[in-house]
Amino acid sequence: MSMFVIRNADASIAFFAEKASDLVLAPGQVVEELQMSFAQYANRLVLSVQGLSGQTVSFPAGEGEVIVQVSCPGQASVDLQINDLVETVTLTGGAGELILSCQNPGVFVIQPANRQLYPAAGSSLLAVVVEEA
């Protein structure tokens, strides 16, 4: 069982794939083969809201809050970038959470701060849109 990680020239993860045969690489990108399943790799860091991950979720602006569930099995903490801010999320049993305020409309983009360790793609990237009421 193996899968492939495609790294940019700066060693950050560009994306990952189940097969290497159809890959089209940009200049400077390299392919790494890892002995684990695609699902195992993708589940190393999962950001979700109400069970939804890997997509954009929307909420109305107002007094409400959005709870982002962070799953990073086997880790005690993980550094996440929330727009321009980097936050260390403490994990218990590989799980933690972030609380986003819906006070002001706009977009939260949450992604791993360490892009050499985790990709800003798939379930490791979450966009939360706070829509003007």
First CA to last CA distance, the chain: 48
Contact map string, positions 72 to 91, toward another protein, x by CB under 8 A: ----------xxxx-x----
Query: 62 or 73: whose CB is closer to another protein?
Result: 62
Q: How far is CA 74 from CA 14, 35, 94, 95, in A?
A: 23, 18, 5, 9
Site string for another protein, 93-122 (x = CB under 8 A): -----xxxx-xxxxxxx-------------
119 contacts: CB under 8 Å, gap ≥ 6: 5, 13, 14, 15, 16, 112, 125
Largest CA distance in the chain: 49
Q: Measured from the CB of residue 56, what is the shortest distance to another protein in angstroms?
A: 12
* Least Å from the CB of residue 12 to another protein: 19
Q: Whole-number minimum distance, CB 108 to another protein, in Å? A: 7
> Among all chains, which residue has been given the structure tokens 């994990």?
91
The site for another protein, by CB under 8 A, has a size of 18
Binding residues for another protein, per CB under 8 A?
A: 65, 82-85, 87, 98-101, 103-109, 130
